[in-house]
Amino acid sequence: METNLQLPLQIQHLKPSSLKCPPFFSPKNQIFHKPTINFSSNFRSCSFNSINLKLRSKTRRRVSEIRGELGKLEEREEEKKEKPVKRAYPFHQIEPKWQTFWEVNKTFRTPDDVDTSKPKFYVLDMFPYPSGAGLHVGHPLGYTATDILARFKRMQGFNVLHPMGWDAFGLPAEQYAIDTGTHPKITTMRNIGRFRSQLKSLGFSYDWDREISTTEPEYYRWTQWIFLQLLKRGLAYQAEVPVNWCPALGTVLANEEVIDGVSERGGHPVIRKPMRQWMLRITEYADRLLEDLEELDWPESLKDMQRNWIGKSEGAELEFPVLDAGGQERGVGITVYTTRPDTIFGATYLVLAPEHPLLESLVFTDQTKYVEEYKELASRKSDLERTELQKEKTGVFTGCYAKNPANGAAVPIWVADYVLGSYGTGAIMAVPAHDTRDHEFASKYDIPIHWVVKPDDEDGSCIGKAYSGGGVIMNSYSSATGLDINGLSSKEAIPKVIQWAEETGTGKKKVNYKLRDWLFARQRYWGEPIPVVIMDDNGDSVPLPDSELPLTLPELDDFTPTGTGEPPLSKALSWVQTVDPLSGKPARRETNTMPQWAGSCWYYLRFMDPQNSKELVNKEKERYWGPVDVYVGGAEHAVLHLLYARFWHKVLYDIGAVSTKEPFKCVINQGIILGKVQYMAHKDTNGNYVSADSATMSGDLYQEQIPEEKVVKSGEFFVLKENPTIRLIARTYKMSKSKGNVVNPEDVVAEYGADSLRLYEMFMGPLRDVKPWNTSGIEGVYRFMGRVWRLIVGSPLSDGSFKDGTVAIDVEPTVDQLRSLHKCIVKVTEEIEATRFNTGISAMMEFINAAYKWDQHPRSIFEAFVLLLSPYAPHMAEELWFRLGNSNSLAYEPFPKANSAYLKDSKIVLPVQFNGKTRGTIQVEETCTEDEAFTLASTDEKLSKYIQGKTIKKKIFVPGKILNVIVVPEKVKVGQQ
């Protein structure tokens, strides 16, 4: 048990478990003695070692002082214990109670054999990576949303599959192992334990019996099996591709480990180096990945990201013959890909990527040195750096020329890093008049610029810069080649150029993709072993038979890079040296491992049938549960994970392992929770505040952070509370350790409870929006939870505790009470189904506001409301359900349904006239009688003055239409006041 008690100043710097008395000398034994005081961390007890000597008076006094101080500390702790913290409701007792109940009773376990006549709902969170940092409050946003949906659907009678597991292979655990010498399995299991504990503390209704981890051999056996299916179908192959090689570290680095051309660890130069790697032929599925997007209930922005990543384009491949020094064709050509063959007459130079295979054979001797130096520089840049539009274009002339097939003109061949060897053919025809990058390059190196497209709406605005749009073709005729496209529109010219190229053998129509085949190998230890052996006699790669799976990782003490480019697994010599199981011939194991993406490509299938040791997933279970109905996760996974998972699923569909074309029916990207808003003020050198709107006009300024309590909002801006003329800068950042703005959910749960955290994260705003964390916001939700509790349980006792049971009584609810309830039911139901959770909470708040005005609290009304609340705040709801007299969990109770009879508002607005003149209106029930209407009118503040001092002669009442009161002044008798 931890304590906040303060030690005396003299001993604050000492640890309680090792507090020592001063040593002293014993003349008799000629030795020093150190009597020690040992006491527990909560200072409840202390004992002195026996000592056979007389304490000096000073030492005795000091020991007595320490005893006295310890006694005071113990008294203070007891006082603190006697004064319990007063909470809005006892979440600290409720939440552990019901979490234990759910776990012991396996409340949310989905049976292996479900009643398939019932509808199903499979709701899934994107596989989390269990890092050592644990959760921050941004993580539960999506988890709470899926839990609300899962609980809601259970109550609607669906079979619900809501599992959780861990994407636990990968770089972070291995890097930590290298840095600390701790085996990644140890840190991974520790991290998983912490994540699991944190998730359970938030009351998520996961079926923990289906928990899986990608690091379990029973799981990655099937990841290896899928790889073998890809290999059998020619979708897995080996190729030499450029990778990030760090000579100083002696290892290949992943893209995320390279920042601005240097290694993230150590800041060493990184170059692009060709190495033999395993690849997956995802490009074979490019068209299907595009076409099937149309069938999915995904955000359009997400689908656009996948479309752009695949990058399908239609154009032509054209061949430019290479010329020798005499201007004659050398018998070799450079093939370029272009989406604008209509601009071929404007091609004034060619550009080759630095890694183009023909480059070395094209360079003239006097340019060799410059080209090699340029290739070296380019190898140090990432693809992203090379293609950045804002960067200055650089290149080197090879000294060689090629012939433009359209007009026979000799065009120079350059090498430049803004062209990538991995896209198209690794070479482009540069048309500087009609491409921005080419125009910038040509202007810098004084290369001719020929205009061949006249804009349809020419207004002179493109003079001096590139025009990349369509228009009318000009300057595009050659009698020598027979190609004439002058006067055609760009759309008409494109097919004509392609037809000419195919007829003359200089090119062909071509569909191209930005999508590249998936680099599937990692030179790392902590990953799935690739189930392949390389034969010693011929170097062939031979797949392992299914009976040899899983191929498990060997135990390694040294995970550090080898320094040679060989993966760390190569150090496991006894594991590497093996024999081919089929032929018995000597072989060695593949020492590359699969990337972290591998295990997360298919985990949703394993959740359907996690214990199956005979097949990937039982076909009947997959047909029932697939596809995932709702998949929630961050937008950062929009391309890679979702694209890879769709690719694997389609392969599994083709081989009959799954019954659906797509894995995820609906995808929702939750927004990001940012750190707390920071308020910054400008100050001048004299220490005076300067308003943010005039700060740019001032001299030297520095910024100072302002506490939230000194800030007030004025219109659209934030200002100093003490001086509203000083406008502040308000900014937020994504939660991160480096920014120091991480909020730990455990701290929030300790202070406000898990239900308050869940409710607040849903109440912050629309699920998909970016939102800043605000502690005052959770305090407001916490107060609402307290109001719900007090309304149903009653006010707290004098010591802050609450009595058992409830204040609800068994009475028939009124029409108004039923109307309030059923309006709430409609709103909450609609908003959950539309994942507008914040407005659903608002509806419940409105109901509670109305209920506080009631004189009686019908049990049936509150039971229904508790069921509405339960998906959001399950701990409180379970406790209230129990206190309302129910013995079973509400997890499978039917979700309330609205009765339309109570949804129609029975109140109408009734005009009130006096002597035929309308003076106002009153609200009445449709069934209102004349007497009831007159009573309301006569007590209305604005209408009653028309009756005072008058005699009512007649009342004319038309039900639902009008009340007309005929009045005359009272007669006053002479002599009377």
- Report pLDDT digits (tens) over 683-707: 888 888 988 877 665 567 878 888 8
Question: Residue 173: left (phi > 0), alpha (psi -120 to 50), or beta?
Answer: alpha
Write down the pLDDT at residue 363. Answer: 93
In this structure, are residues 830 and 895 in contact, taking their beta carbons and an 8 Å threshold?
no
- Cα–Cα distance measured from residue 817 to residue 837, given in angstroms and rounded to the nearest whole number: 24
Residue 31 pLDDT greater than 70, yes or no:
no
3-state secondary structure of 159: strand
Write down the pLDDT at residue 805. Answer: 92
Write down the pLDDT at residue 66. Answer: 55
Write down the pLDDT at residue 51. Answer: 35
- Cα–Cα distance measured from residue 395 to residue 406, given in angstroms and rounded to the nearest whole number: 25
Write down the pLDDT at residue 15. Answer: 36
- Report pLDDT digits (tens) over 398-445: 999 999 999 999 999 999 999 988 778 999 999 999 999 999 999 999
Residue 794 pLDDT greater than 70, yes or no:
yes
Write down the pLDDT at residue 21. Answer: 37
Residue 800 pLDDT greater than 90, yes or no:
no
Backbone angles phi, psi at 920, to 5 degrees: 165, -170
* pLDDT over 90, % of the chain: 64
- Cα–Cα distance measured from residue 35 to residue 956, given in angstroms and rounded to the nearest whole number: 102
Residue ranges with strand state E in 349-409? 349-352, 395-403
Q: Which of 375-379, 640-644, 785-789, 918-922 has the lowest mean pLDDT?
A: 375-379
**Measured at the alpha carbon of residue 249, what is the angle toward residues 132 and 181, in degrees to the nearest 5?**
40
Name the more confident of 461 and 681.
681
Average pLDDT score over residue span 120-130: 95
- Cα–Cα distance measured from residue 154 to residue 845, given in angstroms and rounded to the nearest whole number: 24
Amino acid at 107: T
Name the more confident of 66 and 290.
290
In this structure, are residues 376 and 440 in contact, taking their beta carbons and an 8 Å threshold?
no
- pLDDT bin (cut points 50, 70, 90) of residue 252 is confident
- Report pLDDT digits (tens) over 589-638: 999 999 988 999 999 999 999 999 999 999 999 999 999 999 999 888 88
Average pLDDT score over residue span 787-795: 96
Write down the pLDDT at residue 559. Answer: 84
Name the more confident of 465 and 346.
346
Burial 420-446 (b: 16+ CB within 10 A, else e): bbebbbbbbbbbbbbbebbbbbbeebe
Write down the pLDDT at residue 462. Answer: 60
- Helix %, strand %, coil % for the chain, to 5? 35, 20, 40
Write down the pLDDT at residue 250. Answer: 74
- Cα–Cα distance measured from residue 215 to residue 490, given in angstroms and rounded to the nearest whole number: 55
Q: Which of 308-317, 340-349, 867-876, 942-951 has the lowest mean pLDDT?
A: 942-951
- Cα–Cα distance measured from residue 473 to residue 484, given in angstroms and rounded to the nearest whole number: 10
Residue ranges with strand state E in 563-618? 577-579, 586-589
- pLDDT bin (cut points 50, 70, 90) of residue 264 is confident
- Cα–Cα distance measured from residue 233 to residue 238, given in angstroms and rounded to the nearest whole number: 14
Q: Which long-range contacts (CB under 8 A, 24 or more apart) does 846-854 make?
A: 847/820, 847/821, 847/823, 848/784, 848/787, 848/788, 848/791, 850/820, 851/791, 851/817, 851/820, 852/787, 852/791, 854/817
Average pLDDT score over residue span 905-930: 88
Three-state SS sequence of 29-91:
CCEEECCEEEECCCCCCEEECCCCCCCCHHHHHHHHHHHHHHHHHHHHHHHHHHCCCCCCCCH
Burial 806-844 (b: 16+ CB within 10 A, else e): bbbeeeebeeebbbbbbbbbbbbbebbeebbbbebbebb
Q: Provide the 10 A C-beta neighbour count for residue 287.
A: 13
**DSSP string of 826-879?**
HHHHHHHHTT-HHHHHHHHHHHHHHHTT-S--BHHHHHHHHHHHTTTSHHHHHH
Question: Residue 149: left (phi > 0), alpha (psi -120 to 50), or beta?
Answer: alpha
Residue 384 pLDDT greater than 70, yes or no:
no
Average pLDDT score over residue span 22-42: 37
In this structure, are residues 248 and 269 in contact, taking their beta carbons and an 8 Å threshold?
yes
Question: Residue 464: left (phi > 0), alpha (psi -120 to 50), or beta?
Answer: left
In this structure, are residues 924 and 910 in contact, taking their beta carbons and an 8 Å threshold?
yes
In this structure, are residues 508 and 496 in contact, taking their beta carbons and an 8 Å threshold?
no
- Cα–Cα distance measured from residue 436 to residue 779, given in angstroms and rounded to the nearest whole number: 54
Token digits for 71?
A: 């006694």
Identify the helix (H) or strand (E) that includes residue 184.
helix 184-201
Average pLDDT score over residue span 752-761: 97
**To which residue do tokens 């060695």 refer?**
588
- Report pLDDT digits (tens) over 657-666: 999 999 999 9
Residue 41 pLDDT greater than 70, yes or no:
no
Write down the pLDDT at residue 254. Answer: 67
Residue 5 pLDDT greater than 90, yes or no:
no
Q: Which of 21-30, 775-784, 869-878 has the lowest mean pLDDT?
A: 21-30
- pLDDT bin (cut points 50, 70, 90) of residue 2 is very low
What's the full length of the chain, in residues?
977
Write down the pLDDT at residue 28. Answer: 36
Backbone angles phi, psi at 318, to 5 degrees: -120, 145
Residue of 376, 330, 320 whose CA lies nearest to 351: 320
- Report pLDDT digits (tens) over 492-534: 999 999 999 999 999 999 999 989 899 898 888 999 999 999 9
Residue of 514, 517, 516, 519 whose CA lies nearest to 253: 519
Q: Which of 213-217, 306-310, 739-743, 969-973 has the lowest mean pLDDT?
A: 969-973
- Give the distance from CA 402 to its chain's centroid: 50
Backbone angles phi, psi at 195, to 5 degrees: -60, -45
- Cα–Cα distance measured from residue 890 to residue 867, given in angstroms and rounded to the nearest whole number: 7
Write down the pLDDT at residue 565. Answer: 77
Write down the pLDDT at residue 55. Answer: 38
Q: Provide the 10 A C-beta neighbour count for residue 610.
A: 20
Whether pTM > 0.85 for this model: the answer is no
Identify the helix (H) or strand (E) that includes residue 597.
helix 597-600
3-state secondary structure of 223: helix
Write down the pLDDT at residue 210. Answer: 98
Average pLDDT score over residue span 800-826: 94
Number of helices and strands in the chain (H, E): 26, 43
- Cα–Cα distance measured from residue 135 to residue 693, given in angstroms and rounded to the nearest whole number: 38
- Report pLDDT digits (tens) over 297-344: 999 999 999 999 999 999 999 999 999 989 999 999 999 999 999 999
The rounded mean pLDDT for the chain is 87
Among 390-394, 702-706, 828-832, the range of highest mean pLDDT: 828-832
Residue 761 pLDDT greater than 90, yes or no:
yes
Q: Provide the 10 A C-beta neighbour count for residue 921.
A: 16
In this structure, are residues 596 and 612 in contact, taking their beta carbons and an 8 Å threshold?
no
